[in-house]
Every structure is written in structure tokens, then in C-alpha cells.
Amino acid sequence: MSRAPLDRSGRALARRRAPGPPAAALRAALGAALALALLAAIAWPRPAPAQEAGTTQAGALGPAAAEVAVGWFPLPPYIIATEDGPPSGFGAEVLSQAARDAGLRPAFRALSGPAEALEALRDGRVQALAVFGVSQERLATVEYTRPFVEVRSGLFSSARMAETLAAARAAGDLQGARVGYQAGGLGRSLAEALPGAEPRSIVGFSNLMEQLASGRVDAVVLLEEAFDRGVFALDQQGRFARVGPWLRVTPMAIAVDRRLPGLARRFDQAIEGMQAGGRLAEIEDRWFGAPPSWWTRARIAWVSAATLAGALVLGAGLLWQVRERERAGRLAEARRFGAEQARLAEALAFKNAELESRSRDMERLLYVVSHDLKSPLVSIGGFARRLDRHLEQGDPEKARSAAERISRNVQAMSELIEGILRLGRAGAGEARLDWVEVDRVADSVAEALAGRLERARARLIVMRPLPVVRADEVLLRQALQNLVENALRYGCLEPGMTVEIISRSRGGLVEIGVRDEGPGVPEKDRERIFDLYRRGLGASAASEEGAGLGLATVRKIAERHGGRVGLDSRPGRGVTFWIGLPVGPDATLAEHAAGAAGLPPGQSFEARPFAFAAPGGEPPADRSAPAQAPGGGAASGSAGTPSPDPQDPPPPGGGQGAEERSAA
């Protein structure tokens, strides 16, 4: 049978049912509504075209085929089945006309699908199947009298599957048989399990049936969801083994000797004659090309109205969702913009505050430069005139005194200029961080200030071991030197007083401190002691009063390292100035020092000895292994003294772990 009439009818049906091009935003909604409408149209009953009489049971193929039941199952959209009465539809009319032309009077039985068709064939309700191919290429009749094997698809336990395959292997003599199976699924496993069979993969149920009908395969393996009887195997002797819940062998319901080889041939000849005479095209026009009746037009109008209403509702819903998304997007964008504006405003306020602070510092710097540099210059000019007059008068003692005054004023100017330069270096550029041994930095500070220690007749004690920190070594040396100079200037008011360099761990910081024995810092001055140009009131001499830049420089250095500064002071017991550097929340001093030095866990860090003999005195007796505090840090104070409270600095003095620089 040619595919041209069916293609023409399919194109006509597609032209009638094809919707117009929907809008992009409503394409999905229109497609869903159209699908619902088509389902409603197919399910709605309509009058069938008039059927000619003569489609009841009467045989015309001889005694062996006195009563032939031909079963067929529908494949939309060309065949429509009815449960009661004679079958109707395009395919049923073609078969009925072909049967009359061939002189046959078979009984047609409508079947729901391949599963019911095979079941009816098996129990003898039908002797032949009329299958409208899935490929929609031709209408054919198939005589189903060849062996077949069938398995129900589903979930099998391993024991059930092994039992099924074992039964298939014992299902008869299929040596050399060509067994076809639908591609995919369990059919391949079953076909390969048949002894001596040659499995062949075939795509599609209709192709499988055609191959069986044409003799190109000797048996087929079908996977049907509708079957619930396990595995059926039909051998070449006309018996089938039903493997499943029963596990027994029964006779075949269809006798092998009732084959009807002429049935398919006579049907094919009749259909070819209908096509040649144009009657097949007339049937197609009657089903697909004739003008619709009033009932059909009413149904089309109802379906169209329902489709349009559904499309409008869905379109309105989609439009509302699109607008809601756009509104939510604009709102989210506005919120992001507001948050960004707030962040920028906060950053701008911070920068403004920073600029105002720098502006105030600059103003104060200009004041100090103009005032503190002018005063020594005026003094130098006055003492220079005195020096000249005393030299003319021949008074060497007074001339020497004037020269000393000039020297002290020059030294004061030099210290002021050096302090300004240090402050500028502390706040400029980026810190070059590296692992630094604070012991070595303390050594260099002690050596640089040896002259001042001697002039102040003070002792410098280093409480070892000091930690290893991540810092800029130049800036750290400058900060530690500033703290020691501050202690010498304001904390050593009498000869023989002591300055100590100590360390501790607190709040995720390694704190390096300088402690003196001076009068301490009053409570009211502690908040602003690290501001620019805040001078102490306890200088050892008027000429030793600083410019107020040392502690401010220490604070800037700490801030560049992400740390902080602080002090511990009690009236009459001295003061300890701290600079804290971050090292991590859980690291103790000893752990951090050992990790930085590359030591294994659990091994203590030991600083190298600081062998320095104090002028006029003896070097410390024991400078080797420092004592360890319970927490792993270095103990301070004299031997036998318990570890001090972090809030209460240990009293000054030497001991194990301490190294001293002093002046006679």
C-alpha cells in the first residue's frame, strides 16, 4: 500500500489543527491549552460514518477458516475504537471494504493495544491481527502463527531473574533460530539466554511484527508492561512454557495446523485494488477531507473558545509573573544601589575623618616645627654671644658652660628633626613583613642606646626568650627603641634604675613591652598618651624633655602591622608600654616561636645567649636555657618567683632568662 494517500490525509489534518504562531511569552501556555483541547476533542463521542452491512462472522476461506476473527488495535489519530457495537474508524472501514472485495466475511474485534492483541491471539479469540504500523507507512495484516517468547518488564530480584533465565533456557529446542527482540530492556538478556538462538535487535513493535510475518526471524521476544504472567516461551512443536508464578507446562491454545496463509495475501490484494480504483482516497476524504458537520463545527467552536480562554488566563498569569519578576528585580537593584551608596558614604566619612585627623596633625606639626625649632635657635644665638663675650674676657669656665648649652640645644633640634623623620617613615609605604627574632632586635637597640644608658646610669634587662614575630624588622626596631628612649627619659629619674624588655601573649597578639621604675602615668593622661606631641611630665632634666613624637610613632607602627598599643601603670610603681602584633587566636608565645623557628611540635624555643658585660660589672652567671612558664612562655623576675599575673607586670630585676646592659 502506498504511503501517498495517508501522507496527504495527514497533511490535511495537520493543516486543520495547526495553531497560528504564538507570541514568545505565551508559547508554552498555548501549547498546553491546545493539548488539553485535543484530548477533549478525541474523548468526545461523535457519530460514525455509515457502515455497510456484511461485517459479521461468515467464513469464505474454506473449512479450515469457517470462522475467522481478525483483531485490530488503534494507533491515533487514524483509528478510533468503540467498546460496544461494530468497530468504527478509518482503519476499520478500510478492512471491512477489503474483506468484501476479497469475498471474506470475518468478525472484527477491537483490541486496546499490542498487549491485548497478543493475549487474544494466544487464547484463540482471534486468528489474525491487523496492525496499523507505528511508522504510519502502510496498513498490513499479520498472521501470528510463529513461535514467540514474551517477558513482563519491571523490577526483578536477583533470584527471580535467575529463575526466569533458567526457565527460558529450558523452553524448547530453538537451535539456530533467529530470535528478534525490541532494542533495549530485558529482551536482549532473555534472547541471549535461549540455547543456540541467534539474537537480533529490532527497533519498534511494528517492525518486529513485520519481521516475524515475513519470516526473517523465527521467534520474537516482547516486553509488555500490561502482562502480569511472567515469562512465556513457545517452542517449534506448538507448545509454550508459562514460566512465572505457576512454573508448569500447558498445551498451546492455538493449533499450529490452523494457519491461514491466504488471509494476509487476499487482504493485501483487496487493499491494492482499492488504492488503484480510487476508493481508498474516497475513504480518506470522507474521514479527513469532507466539510465538517454542524456537530463538528460546534465542537470546534467550543474547543476553540476553551482554548482561547485558557490561553488568555495562562497568558495573564504569565504576564503577571513577568511583571512581578521585573518589579522584584527593580526593587532588589534599588536595594543593592542603596547598600552601595551607604557603603560609599561610610567609606567617604571614614576618609574625611582620616583627612581631618591628618590635617590636625599637620597643623600641630607646623606649630611644633615653628615653635620647637625656633626656641633652640634663639637659645643658640644667645649662648653664642655669651661664648664670644666670655672668650674676650678670658673666662674659660663661663665660656665652657655657654658651649655646653649650645651643644644641648643642637642635640634637642637634632632629636626633634629625627623624630619627625621617624614619624614620616612609620606612616609611609608598605610594611615588609618577615619572621623576625625580637631577641636580635633587642640586642641592636641595646647597642644603639649604650651611650644613653651610660649617661643615665641605668640598667637594661632583656627577659629571654623573646618571641619570633611576623613584622617589618626596621619598623619594629624603631618602635622598640622609641619605647626604651621614652623609659630612659621619663622613668629613670635616679641613677641605678632599671628598664626591662619583656613579652607576653594575650587576645591573639604577641605583646612586646618596655617596663620602667618611674612615677607612672596618671589616669587622666592614659587615653591620650599616644597622641602626637603629648609630652611626659617626669623628665630627668628640662633639656631631656621630648618632642612628643615617640609614642605616636610607636602607635603608627603597630597600626601598620594590624596590631595595637597599650600600657599598664600604677602610681609610684612604674609603667609598661606594650606594642601588640597579631599571630593567631590560639598560638602561645612558645608555640609561635617554635613554629617560626622550624622546630617540631612540643620542643621549646631557646634564644641564643646575649653575652654583653656591663661596664664596671660582671656578666650574668647563667645565660643558657631560660625558665619556662606553665603556659609555655618565658618566666620573668628572679629565680624562685612564681609567674606574675598578666595584668600585674613582674617587678624589675635580673634572674634566670634575663640579660642585662647597664652603666656604672
Task: Give the tens place of pLDDT for each residue, 428-453.
Answer: 656 678 899 999 999 989 888 888 88
Within 13 Å of residue 121, how many CA atoms lie on the same side as its CB? 23
**Cα torsion for 401, 405, 406, 408, to the nearest 10°?**
140
What does each C-alpha distance from 161 to 156, 164, 197, 439 come to in angstroms? 6, 5, 19, 80
**What is the CATH architecture assignment of 146-253?**
3-Layer(aba) Sandwich (3.40)
Q: What is the pLDDT of residue 168?
A: 56
Which residue from 563, 392, 359 is spatially nearest to 475, judged by alpha carbons?
563
**CATH fold label, 431-661:** Heat Shock Protein 90 (3.30.565)
294-372 vs 396-427: helix crossing angle, rounded to 10: 180
pLDDT at 580 over 80: yes
What does each C-alpha distance from 489 to 434, 462, 493, 568, 613 come to in angstroms? 31, 18, 8, 18, 23
User: Where is pLDDT greater, at 518 or 588?
Assistant: 518
pLDDT at 584 over 60: no
> Three cell numbers at 261?
496463509
Amino acid at residue number 253: A
Which residue from 118, 124, 75 is spatially nearest to 107, judged by alpha carbons?
124
User: Quick check: 130 and 91 in contact, CB under 8 A?
Assistant: yes
- SS3 (DSSP) at 652: coil
Q: What is the pLDDT of residues 484-499, one digit of tens each?
A: 988 888 888 788 889 9
With 0.85 as the threshold, say if the pTM is over it.
Answer: no
> Three cell numbers at 539?
623628665
Q: What is the pLDDT of residue 276?
A: 84
* Arithmetic mean of pLDDT, 615-627: 36
- SS3 (DSSP) at 125: coil
Q: What is the pLDDT of residues 65-94, one digit of tens each?
A: 334 555 554 433 333 333 444 455 666 677
User: Quick check: 520 and 571 in contact, CB under 8 A?
Assistant: yes
Among 297-311, 516-530, 633-647, which stretch is predicted with the lowest mean pLDDT? 633-647
pLDDT at 204 over 60: yes
Helix or strand run (H / E) with residue 30:
helix 27-43
* DSSP class per residue in 494-534: STT-EEEEEEEEETTEEEEEEE--S----GGGSTTTTSTT-
Residue 172: band (very low, low, confident or very high) from pLDDT cuts 50, 70, 90: low
146-253 and 431-661, same CATH topology? no
Which of 193-197, 303-307, 655-659 is the most confident on average? 303-307
Does the structural domain 45-144+258-290 have CATH classification 3.20.20.210?
no
280 exposure class (CB count in 10 Å sphere: 0-12, 13-18, 19+): buried
Segments making up each domain of the chain, as ranges: 45-144+258-290, 146-253, 431-661
Does the N-terminal peptide bond of residue 465 adopt cis geometry, omega within 30 degrees of 0? yes
